[in-house]
């Protein structure tokens, strides 16, 4: 009997790889459970990282490396420009077809659907570095905030009631529910492109599996860790301009690798502005790209940095980045 129960639970988890809303009717009850790392949720990460080792079999070529790099930047922009600044914070407006395209592009980053991503992220802003925060490095440690939290069963479902503004679009809900469809098509597309290059441009030294290893596995793994650094490192490394009550920080290094997300303290203070670098020296590539896109008319109404941001000179209360025990968190 006990075994049967275990199997059905395992089957349920497996079905959720493809239909993420399966068995998630009572999100509040799942959310109320204690954190628990679920093996079937660790497995996709294990496979993603193991896929990187495929390079030992496929080798490399300049074309494959260039495509991996290009896809890293394109998908990082999709995450910061669309998943974060559009879906999570609505810092600009766009049309319904463009919104779908942005969601599609964001889904190729293999960071689940736009509604799950926005729901978790809005929750982070509401409870930043408090006990309820699902990925606070100061409360739960570096590794939990970096990757552990995603493998916990209680953080798996999307609470659609918390993202009603997005849940009213069935096409977005579809992408969110079947969130492995786009990544699988993306990997298959790379396989096809690799085959095409192999047949028609043999001089490039590209093969279909080589392009899957570089364009999908290597590029996506690096993309995952760079994005996760905002959950982990951006609450540990850098300086604080604003007293936000949490431990968010501004870091040029993180801003460079994440196309502008490193100005995280700015962002926690003024989360509704499209720009995260508030001064010319705070490099924010995603903002520059969004500005250029706005000239084409595809997006509009980019919310500017409020004047108050430049007058906000409250002394910053230093928060210890590595508390020795929880009793310090008064
Ligand atoms: Zn944060
Ligand atoms: Zn945010």
* Ligand with an atom nearest the CA of residue 245: 1
297: region left, alpha or beta (phi > 0 left; psi from -120 to 50 alpha) = left
CA 23 and chain centroid, separation: 24
* Ligand with an atom nearest the CA of residue 122: 2
Give the per-residue pLDDT at 4: 57
Distance from residue 71's CA to the centre of ligand 2 (Å):
23
Distance from residue 269's CA to the centre of ligand 2 (Å):
10
Measured from the Cβ of residue 275, the count of other Cβ atoms closer than 10 Å reads 24
Distance from residue 203's CA to the centre of ligand 2 (Å):
45
Q: What is the mean pLDDT of each run of 10 residues along the chain (330 residues)?
A: 64 83 85 86 93 97 98 98 98 98 98 97 94 91 94 93 97 97 98 98 97 98 97 95 94 98 97 97 98 98 94 67 43
* Ligand with an atom nearest the CA of residue 83: 2
Give the per-residue pLDDT at 323: 47
Give the per-residue pLDDT at 315: 61
Give the per-residue pLDDT at 330: 33
Give the per-residue pLDDT at 6: 72
| Cα–Cα dist 228/80, whole Å | 12
* Ligand with an atom nearest the CA of residue 234: 1
DSSP label at residue 234: G
Strand partners, 250: 239, 263
Distance from residue 227's CA to the centre of ligand 2 (Å):
12
Distance from residue 121's CA to the centre of ligand 2 (Å):
6
State the residue for tokens 């190729």: 108
* Ligand with an atom nearest the CA of residue 138: 1
Give the per-residue pLDDT at 324: 42
**Can you spell out the DSSP letters for 259-271?**
TTTTBHHHHHHST
Spatial contact of 239 and 250, defined as CB atoms under 8 Å apart? yes
The tally of CA atoms less than 13 A away on the side-chain side of residue 30 is: 15
All residues at 6 or more sequence positions from 302 whose CB lies less than 8 Å from its CB, including other chains: 91, 92, 274, 290, 291, 294
* Ligand with an atom nearest the CA of residue 236: 1
* Ligand with an atom nearest the CA of residue 248: 1
| Cα–Cα dist 230/237, whole Å | 10
Distance from residue 91's CA to the centre of ligand 2 (Å):
10
């Amino acid at each position: 009997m006990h075994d049967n129960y275990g199997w059905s639970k395992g089957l349920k988890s497996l079905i959720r790889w493809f239909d993420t809303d399966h068995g998630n009717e009572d999100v509040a009850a799942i959310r109320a459970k204690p954190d628990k790392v679920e093996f079937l949720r660790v497995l996709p990460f294990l496979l993603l990282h193991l896929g990187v080792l495929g390079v030992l079999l496929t080798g490399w070529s300049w074309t494959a490396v260039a495509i991996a790099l290009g896809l890293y930047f394109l998908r990082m922009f999709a995450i910061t420009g669309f998943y974060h600044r559009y879906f999570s914070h609505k810092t600009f407006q766009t049309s319904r077809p463009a919104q779908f395209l942005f969601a599609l592009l964001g889904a190729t980053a293999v960071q689940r659907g736009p509604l799950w991503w926005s729901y978790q992220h809005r929750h982070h802003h509401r409870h930043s570095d408090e006990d309820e925060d699902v990925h606070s490095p100061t409360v739960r440690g570096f590794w939990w905030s970096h990757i552990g939290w995603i493998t916990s069963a209680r953080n798996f479902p999307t609470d659609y009631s918390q993202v009603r503004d997005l849940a009213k679009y069935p096409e977005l809900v579809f992408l969110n529910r079947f969130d492995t469809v786009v990544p699988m098509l993306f990997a298959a597309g790379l396989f096809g492109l690799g085959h095409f290059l192999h047949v028609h441009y043999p001089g490039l030294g590209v093969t279909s599996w080589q392009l899957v290893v570089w364009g999908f596995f290597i590029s996506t793994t690096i993309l995952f860790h760079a994005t996760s650094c905002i959950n982990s490192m951006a609450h540990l490394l850098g300086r604080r301009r604003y007293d936000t009550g949490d431990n968010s920080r501004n870091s040029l290094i993180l801003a460079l690798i994440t196309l502008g997300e490193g100005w995280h303290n700015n962002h926690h203070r003024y989360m509704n502005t499209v720009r995260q670098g508030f001064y010319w020296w705070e490099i924010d590539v995603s903002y520059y790209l969004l500005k250029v896109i706005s000239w084409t008319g595809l997006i509009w109404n980019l919310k500017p940095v409020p004047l108050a941001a430049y007058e906000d000179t409250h002394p910053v209360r230093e928060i210890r980045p590595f508390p020795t025990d929880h009793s310090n968190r008064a």
